[in-house]
Amino acid sequence: MSVGPTECPPYVLKEMSRPIYDLRDRDLIEIHLENLELLRRIFHSSGKIMVFASSSFSAMEAAIANLVEPGDPVLVINSGFFSGFMAEMAQIHGGRVFLTPSFEEQPITLDAFENALSECDAKVVCMVHNETGTGLRTPIERLCLLAHSYDALTVVDVVSTLGGMRVDVDGWRIDVAFAGCQKCLNVPPTLSVASISERAWQSFENRKNPVKLWYLNFKTLKMAIGEKPIFPYTFPIHSILALNASLKHLLAEGLENVYERHKRESTVAKRFVRELGLSMHNRCEACPGCENEEAYCALTVTAFKTPIQAMKVVEKMEHDHGVRISAGLREHQEDVLRIGHMGWQAQPPFTKATLTSLASTLKNLGLKLNYEEALAGLL
């Protein structure tokens, strides 16, 4: 129940042990092309779909490097740890970076975003749907539409939400959305995926300066998606097969059911943690509830404060119950715990086992909390 890499279901693991394919094998190419179409449905996208033979940060860097030219104004919504990397990459690739004030505990408001947009005349706006370190959700559905009305290109990190929460690329006018395969898609860490809008593609094609990258250049990656596709380099073949199994499974369940399932499991976990007497990391007590449109907790992560050192809880829980959750990131590695409700992990038996193990672990570590009430609410 970590926040990623997540546990792989048996139908994914089975694919990881198949005999090897040649990279030019027609059947493998067909499976890859099918993956692009299945991903299109999950992204709700009519743009170009790409698969990268590398982790999510490579898709992040590809998006930024291919769209940002030296001197271009780039607005980054400072929502925490992962948005910081977007700012760093935009700077490395020559952008003039405008970082908003910190919105690590509460999401940016539309007004604050519009002020920042009009002040910097951004060509590209970067944001993170779910800061996995804190579980803070940024309302990308409204921000991207607004950015679009200012003619800015939007680059959105949906690494820990795609396949668990709705990401409506066309409806929300997202120009580049990218994700990893090791979160809600439950594939061993290897691949990342992206959707690129026609507008973003045009902007890439009309660049005045060449992209100073080969491996992650859209032109190189296009070889795997155009007519007569070939892989430009050695892709992790088993991950392509595993991704195929995972995507088919997800779509067979139905996207609406998938989103509902994540919402349900996330709500159960967040309620339990609050009933124990612990508080959410991102101050979401201020919001009216997880189902509310204004809520700012992501539905794929429950991040909460722990009075006991986080790694001590994580290790004891794994040792005593065989259930692994995650500690916080960076300055919160000691005082924050995180449960991942991602893909296959977001199921009632797993949630229940995790929450009961958590309660037992905290109790055995001597923490006084409302165990009885919280556990009674779980039944």
Ligand X SMILES: Cc1ncc(COP(=O)(O)O)c(C=O)c1O
Binding interface with ligand X (CB under 6 A): 4, 55-57, 82, 128, 132, 157, 159-160, 180
CB hemisphere CA count around 140 (13 angstroms) = 33
CB 3, min distance to ligand X, A: 7
Rounded Cα gap, residues 143 and 116, in angstroms: 12
C-beta closer to ligand X: residue 82 or 231: 82
Secondary structure string (H, E, C) spanning the chain: CCCCCCCCCHHHHHHCCCCCCCCCCHHHHHHHHHHHHHHHHHHCCCCEEEEECCCHHHHHHHHHHHHCCCCCEEEECCCCHHHHHHHHHHHHCCCEEEECCCCCCCCCCHHHHHHHHHHHCCCEEEEECEECCCCEECCHHHHHHHHHHCCCEEEEECCCCECCECCCCCCCCCCEEEEECCCCCCCCECEEEEEECHHHHHHHHCCCCCCCCCCCCHHHHHCCCCCCCCCCCCCCHHHHHHHHHHHHHHHHHCHHHHHHHHHHHHHHHHHHHHHHCCCECCCHHHCCCCCCCCCCECCCEEEEECCCCHHHHHHHHHHHHCCCCEECCHHHCCCEEEEECCHHHCCHHHHHHHHHHHHHHHHHCCCCCCHHHHHHHHC
CB of 102 to ligand X, least distance (A): 16
Whats the size of the chain, residue-wise? 379
Task: Quote the least distance from Cβ 196 to ligand X, whole Å.
Answer: 18
- State which residue, 177 or 196, has the beta carbon closest to ligand X: 177
Cβ distance to ligand X smaller for residue 186 or 361 = 186
Indicate the residue among 11 and 81 with the shorter CB distance to ligand X.
81
Give the nearest distance from C-beta 9 to ligand X in angstroms: 19
Nearer to ligand X, 28 or 53 (CB): 53
Nearer to ligand X, 159 or 177 (CB): 159
CA distance 174 to 156: 7
CB of 307 to ligand X, least distance (A): 25
For residues 312 and 337, the answer to whether their CB atoms sit within 8 Å is no
Query: Which residue number, 4 or 343, has a Cβ lying nearer to ligand X?
Result: 4
Nearer to ligand X, 56 or 354 (CB): 56
Query: At its nearest, how many Å lie between ligand X and the CB of residue 157?
Result: 5
To the nearest whole angstrom, how small is the minimum distance from the Cβ of residue 190 to ligand X? 9
Please, what is the minimum distance in Å from the beta carbon of residue 56 to ligand X?
Answer: 3
The least CB distance from residue 358 to ligand X, in Å, is 21
Which is nearer to ligand X, 164 or 180 (by Cβ)? 180
